[in-house]
Structure 1
Amino acid sequence: MVKFANGQARDWVMDNGSWDIWGYHLAVRKWSKDMSLALEDCKSILIWVKLTRVPVLYWTKLGLSYIASFLGKPLHMDANVTNRHALSFARVCIDMETSSSFLDNIVLELDDGSTTTIGVEYPWRPVSCTLCRVFDHSNKSCPRAVRREWMPKPVVLAQRKPDDVEGWITVKRKESNLE
């Protein structure tokens, strides 16, 4: 839990996340009385997504929200987008569910019937489990996953009982069908 000196500092941290500290991603959320701190209750995560090759027609709050809604729930845009400073890409903060797929491209159909491909870049892709629906572990390390492990069968050696105690084998004549 982090306490800020004022609301302006808190808002700046919340608006400019995702935060990577010493190689670990820090998910920042506003605290509320009823929020759970258990990791398995983390069903969604905020991610700043970079959208490239966005047509000029969609460089509005409504247009970018429409594009971002293919990935999750759009929350807000960075200052460069709202002030229209850097128009080569758009950064949008999206609340993504564990069931969301991290698309690399979004194919958008334009008003004239043609299509355009919008590139999607993520600062990081969180590990998520589609079985438990949490951002704690992957499907490979899921404790709920059914494991199929190869178990070698025990080797059984065939043993022959000797007919004779001294190790001799009595050979019996084969019957012949000659008459």
Structure 2
Amino acid sequence: MQLFDEDSVDLLQLSDEDVQDELEYWQNAVFGFIVGANPPWQVLEKFLQRIWSKYTLDKISFLPNGVFLVRFQTQEMKQAVLGSGHFLFDNKPMIIRPWFPDVELAKEEVKSVPAWIRMHKLPLKFWGKSLLKISNLVGNYVKVDEATEKRTRLGFARVMVELKLGQNFPKSVKFLDEKQELVEIHIDYEWKPSVCTKCKLLGHERERSKKGKPQKNNVVRRNSVAREESLAAVTKVITPKSSFSNSTCIETSGT
């Protein structure tokens, strides 16, 4: 912050009373952005209304840099949203932060992001505590989806892991089972974070940057707003009640 020199120039001095109304207006607000995407504001507005439909949203506002603000009716609603875990927009993480005076409303740098992976043809004996250890071979385990937790869809196990930007994304993982036999499991990624080595922005690779300017290829193009909205799937936090229940939900880190 720049220090004020009283002898340099006469400046307007605002008082606490001058800003109090706005501080009170936004005190129940959060702000956020979609990692690696800038969806149309009409689509994002409906998405936010849908995922937080049980709360009273007094105001949804958007900034040109892709950041949005959501003002809730009460402080309790705000805190409930901040503690509700991860949300994904079209498989891309949505970062949510509390609003406070003097906060910079900008897309912050992130070091790691949550993403879903699929383990196809995973033997049933590995669907318990073993799944946590196997997932950590790819990234830090966060949670499983409901179908995996309840064992109702056995074609693949779906796990959310925390992936570091710039890390390797193995196509398969290998480990020794309880009989000392080598096992290899194929890994599919529903979305992988990528950082352009040229423009340093998240969401696309170097070959998509032309003349030093990032292209908008990180946003999946749709034929219509309605089509994009239909693909903006909501991922709810699942707190497993079985052998997965000892895991912790890792917060997305930033600087």
Whether TM exceeds 0.5 here: the answer is yes
**Which one has a bigger Cα radius of gyration?**
1
The match for 1:43 among 106, 111, 127 is 111
Cα-to-partner distance string for 1:39-63 (whole Å, 9 max, x where unaligned):
4612111111111122222111x21
Equivalent pair of 1:18/1:48 in contact (CA under 8 Å)? no
Cα-to-partner distance string for 1:140-172 (whole Å, 9 max, x where unaligned):
65x7xxxxxxxxxxxxxxxxxxxxxxxxxxxxx
- Amino acid in structure 1 at the alignment position of 2:97: W
SS of the aligned residue for 1:71 comes to coil
Match of 2:176 in 1: 109
Q: Distance in 1 between matches of 2:143 and 2:160?
A: 5
What is the TM-score when the length of structure 1 is the normalising length? 0.59
CA gap of 1:136–1:86, structure 2 versus 1, over 3 A, is: closer
Deviation of 1:138 (Å): 3.3
CA gap of 1:41–1:55, structure 2 versus 1, over 3 A, is: same
Q: Distance in 2 between matches of 1:57 and 1:96?
A: 25
Identity %: 22
Match of 2:134 in 1: 67
Match of 2:89 in 1: 19
**Higher alpha-carbon deviation: 32-41 or 74-83:** 32-41
Equivalent pair of 2:171/2:186 in contact (CA under 8 Å)? yes
CA gap of 1:63–1:37, structure 2 versus 1, over 3 A, is: farther
SS of the aligned residue for 1:66 comes to helix
Deviation of 1:73 (Å): 1.1
Q: Structure 1 or 2: larger helix share?
A: 2
Q: Distance in 1 between matches of 2:120 and 2:143?
A: 17
- Structure 2: where are the runs of 5+ without partners? 1-30, 32-47, 56-76, 213-255
Equivalent pair of 1:39/1:136 in contact (CA under 8 Å)? no
Q: Distance in 2 between matches of 1:38 and 1:79?
A: 33
Within a 5 Å distance, the mapping from 1:22-171 to structure 2 comes to 26-32=92-98, 38-39=106-107, 41-60=109-128, 62-129=129-196, 135-138=202-205
Cα-to-partner distance string for 1:50-88 (whole Å, 9 max, x where unaligned):
11122222111x211111111111111100111111122
Q: Distance in 2 between matches of 1:70 and 1:131?
A: 29
Equivalent pair of 1:53/1:117 in contact (CA under 8 Å)? no
**Higher alpha-carbon deviation: 39-48 or 132-141:** 132-141
CA gap of 1:59–1:37, structure 2 versus 1, over 3 A, is: farther
- Structure 1: where are the runs of 5+ without partners? 144-179
**Higher alpha-carbon deviation: 83-92 or 26-35:** 26-35
Deviation of 1:112 (Å): 1.2
- Bigger RCO of structures 1 and 2 (CA < 8 A, at least 6 apart): 2
SS of the aligned residue for 1:112 comes to coil
